[in-house]
Structure 1
Amino acid sequence: MQFKRNNLKSTLANLQWNKYMVYIVFFVVFILFSITLSDKGFLSSNNLMNVLRQTAMISIMAVAGTFIIASGQIDLTVGAVAAMSAMIVSLVLQSTDSIVLALICGLGFGLLIGAFNGFLVTKLKLPSFLATMGMMSAIRGTAMWVTNTAAVPIKNDTFTSIFGIGEVFGISVLIIWTIIFYAIGIVVFNKTPFGRHVLATGGNELSATYSGVKTQKIKLAIFIISGVVAAFAGILYAGRMQAGRFSFGDGDEMSVIAAVVLGGTAMSGGTGSVIGALVGSVLMGLINNGLILGGLTSAQQTIVRGLIIVAAVALSNITQGKKK
């Protein structure tokens, strides 16, 4: 009896540690930077708000990324879709000055790519990693080809105010959009049958199928969601930078994966936390900000970001090993 009680306590301790790992790391990093970079303005309200603005697009894509990874899939097209969506929106605005038409075209592109990714995975049975890696290259190349790598400026002040540089009661619209997406994501993931079916699909697809879950439809749906959300992130990129550029979102797919995994979603699927993904993305933003304030070069920052991704995946594997 004593052995069973001790074993239960050990299991609960591991689960609590795993659940709150990202919050512990966030706290430690924040305190460390607050002490070492206090003379460089790390704790200033302007700097902290800037971190939230800069991570908004990653944070928003991490909402959909949680659904993707929790279902046992990977979507490497998010950065490329964001770039192409920004280009499409910019070109439509330049030609018609219609915000509604630009949004329809930009989001429609994300929907089509998401549906096609889902088709490749569910109908052609391609591994999501390989399918989306190929699509990522094709989309990024198309974004470069459309304008021969030239930027497309946006001169519509209403668009840039709503989707980029505007503020509401002193709060950046990028932060407000982030809050909206997380409010929706948390409810859908935690409170609806769809969220439970996503976790069931990632946890054990065969068992989920036998239980009546339409796993193929679930996977198709999450890829569509991922495509549309990535396209919206591209719209925010365009609004913030007041232009469309093929280089937007370069490397975002890795940042999204790292944020989601750091936030407690297992790479193997079956578990996930939308709010954890937010903390993970802001954590990465804090680290990037701290590295810049600390005077590290671009190359050194890239090295550190790569190590963070490795650490995130390793932590996920260790966590799953403890649970088995």
Structure 2
Amino acid sequence: MQFKPSNRQPIVINRQPYFVNLRLDWRDFIVYLAFVTVFLFFAITIGDQGFLTISNISNIIRATTMITIMATAMTFVIASGEIDLSIGATVAFAALCTSLAMQAGLGLIGGIVSGLLAGVLIGSINGFLTTIVAIPSFLVTLGMMQLVRGVAMWMTDTSPVPVNNENFLKIFGTDSIGPIPTLVIWSVSVLFIGHILLKKTSFGRKILATGGNSISASYSGVNTKKVKFYALIISGIGAAIAGMLYSGAMQSARYTFGQADELTVIAAVILGGTNLYGGRGSVAGTIAGSLLIGTINNGLIIIGLSVSQQMVISGAIIILAVAFGKKRTSA
């Protein structure tokens, strides 16, 4: 008789049991504790300077919407054991494709479809080179980051592309539905869809199984290459949506969109509890990590720190996130 530890339960994938560790760990909740601690710190120290106002809290959520959407998509990539460094460049490329399509007379639907196809194209190329050609995703997406950013610059000769479609600006801009900002609705929608997809579907279980142990997952009937391929496509789609939101908020598309966002996105994912080497992921934790970084940035701005000082602190957060992710893996 096979002994099964009490803290492990089988997940059946293609009629084969794949055991995952369901033991609770206090580190699974540290991002939420950190968020509450940071929020209370700023509330006590600078609450009288406007930090606790409804408008400022709304600003934090809106300012982190694009990072939140990209980080949710990145959760699938990292949980599968891969990484996507091209996500920031894809944001700019998809935004420009959307804006140029609308300028060409394709309308709202044509613009949205063009942006999404741009994200799918880059995700598919990343996925093909990573899974079929077997080049490490770090190297593939590092090169793709440079290539796509260069293409984005070349497409418009570094000039911004105005967005004049009113319906597009209502859907992807800074408009509101009643008292709720559109960007907040986007954040909540992506959180819900991402959480359901990762935790409640067979695809999500295959993502975690692939990242946890790709060999065991393969023996259980999981096509691990296909899973990673789709994870990178999800990353491209998330970047495309973020690019359209950037365009809506700025009422233009620019090649600079998403610059250095990949670092913040990865930090949010790791802070949120996703294992840096795959096998563990939490969309809810990722959202908390994104809000944590957004709250810190907002508080530092209100305090009056210079851009250079903010960059120092942001860099320290990224280092701590990676270090914490590595410690979780070795524990």
Q: TM-score, normalised by structure 2?
A: 0.92
* Post-superposition offset of 1:228: 1.1
Large movers: runs of 4+ above 6 Å: none
1:259 corresponding residue in structure 2: 268
Per the alignment, in what secondary structure is the counterpart of residue 134 of structure 1?
helix
2:15 corresponding residue in structure 1: none
Cα distance in 1 for partners of 2:230, 2:94 equals 19
Residue 256 of structure 1 aligns with an amino acid whose one-letter code is V
Alignment of 1:136 with 2:145, yes or no, is: yes
Alignment of 1:79 with 2:82, yes or no, is: no
Match of residue 272, structure 1, among 265, 278, 281: 281
Residue 142 of structure 2 aligns with an amino acid whose one-letter code is M
Match of residue 108, structure 2, among 92, 99, 113: 99
Tell me whether 145-154 or 235-244 shows the greater mean CA deviation. Answer: 145-154
Match of residue 192, structure 2, among 183, 203, 224: 183
CA RMSD in angstroms, aligned pairs only: 1.3
**What's the CA shift string for 1:16-54, capped at 9, x where partnerless?**
321101011101100111111112201110001011001
1:152 corresponding residue in structure 2: 161
Alignment of 1:229 with 2:238, yes or no, is: yes
Tell me whether 176-185 or 130-139 shows the greater mean CA deviation. Answer: 176-185
1:18 corresponding residue in structure 2: 27
* Post-superposition offset of 1:245: 0.5
Tell me whether 95-104 or 227-236 shows the greater mean CA deviation. Answer: 95-104
Gaps of 5+ in 1: 1-11
Match of residue 325, structure 2, among 303, 316, 324: 316
Correspondence list, 1:164-203, <5 A: 164-203=173-212
1:31 corresponding residue in structure 2: 40
2:55 corresponding residue in structure 1: 46
Cα distance in 2 for partners of 1:152, 1:213 equals 43
Question: Is the contact between residue 71 and residue 199 of structure 1 (CA under 8 Å) also seen in structure 2?
Answer: yes
Per the alignment, in what secondary structure is the counterpart of residue 92 of structure 1?
helix
Gaps of 5+ in 2: 1-20
Cα distance in 1 for partners of 2:227, 2:195 equals 17
1:5 corresponding residue in structure 2: none
Cα distance in 1 for partners of 2:228, 2:50 equals 44
Residue 198 of structure 2 aligns with an amino acid whose one-letter code is F
Cα distance in 2 for partners of 1:143, 1:277 equals 28
Cα distance in 2 for partners of 1:197, 1:93 equals 38
2:9 corresponding residue in structure 1: none
2:8 corresponding residue in structure 1: none
1:7 corresponding residue in structure 2: none
1:246 corresponding residue in structure 2: 255
Cα distance in 1 for partners of 2:241, 2:328 equals 32
2:310 corresponding residue in structure 1: 301
Percent of aligned pairs sharing the same letter: 49
Q: May I ask how many residue pairs the two structures share in their alignment? A: 310
Correspondence list, 1:60-79, <5 A: 60-79=69-88
